[in-house]
Structure 1
């Protein structure tokens, strides 16, 4: 299975989607980033594991509902464990990988660069723009060219 470890703030929630008067403030994703994420999912058949701090205090079902309300449906399969912010996100992703035997390849989409040994798998975004066309193309390239976890 192909996995995208996905952050939300700075990836799907961008400067463009932070409109305080909007009734969805906090849960509304940037429509351009959403379109590019859907393109990635369609091109790769990847599934999403949420690595964002949004997983803290929310259930998998709640996150799936937020994604569905933003036009992204049936793709989130799990959440990385949370070490209460005491570690780099890459260690939480590594812990997920250590317990999942059916991951054939993966990428990390995040605006955070602290991934430790998993840094080569990071496709870094910018909070202002989130997923751009270049990032979309890079993620698709990595997920279609990657042949293993090493």
Structure 2
């Protein structure tokens, strides 16, 4: 059975600690994609991927650049795993897969949790194991048992990785 990691970037892979370290050393903090990822957070993501064989679904606001750009970022930065997909995003409260697509009829308040729920309905079997890695609790109540809150200062820690691995085993 497939397993999925719903992955935010800012505060999860990009961290205040790493950004400040780069600034103190006079090094670049961004590339053509955006802020550089913290190698410690990336290593902990790698641990999760290696032990669970989960697939990555990007929930970060960076996904508005599109799936191809997310895959290019992943390949160029030589990051672990592969980007399987991006969640849809709500623009002005209406569901869309991209800013060029016609939204569904009706108005829905946007939230990351709703976007994840929509993705799961469209792409996964019921009871598919998943975990949400995010520094913000913009999730649905029913998703709280699948949520790993990340500290934006440190990004994904080894403790977060252990917790995510446990959740994906269920």
Q: TM-score range by the shorter chain?
A: 0.7 to 0.9
Aligned equivalents of 1:85 and 1:122: distance in 2? 25
**TM-score, normalised relative to structure 1:** 0.87
Q: In the alignment, which of 19, 22, 30 is matched to residue 28 of structure 2? A: 22
Q: Deviations over 1:76-128 (max 9, x none)?
A: 10010000274221000000011013472100000011202312211010110
The 10-residue stretch of structure 1 (37-46 or 99-108) with the greater mean CA deviation from structure 2: 99-108
Pairs within 5 Å for 1:131-142: 131-142=156-167
Q: Report the RMSD for the aligned CA atoms in angstroms.
A: 1.8
Deviation by residue 1:20-53 (Cα, 9 ceiling, x = unmatched):
5406353410000000101110000001000111
Partner in structure 2 of residue 101 of structure 1: 124
Aligned position for 2:3: 2
Contact 1:50–1:79 at 8 Å: present in 2 too? yes
The offset of 1:65, in angstroms, is: 1.9
Give runs of aligned pairs for residues 1-150 of structure 1, distance below 5 A: 1-18=2-19, 19=22, 21-22=27-28, 24-25=30-31, 26-56=34-64, 58-84=65-91, 86=93, 87-102=110-125, 104-117=128-141, 118-144=143-169, 146=170
In structure 2, stretches of 5+ residues that fail to align are 94-109
Q: After the TM superposition, list the runs of 4 or more consecutive aligned residues in structure 1 that deviate by more than 4 angstroms.
A: none
TM-score by length of 2: 0.77
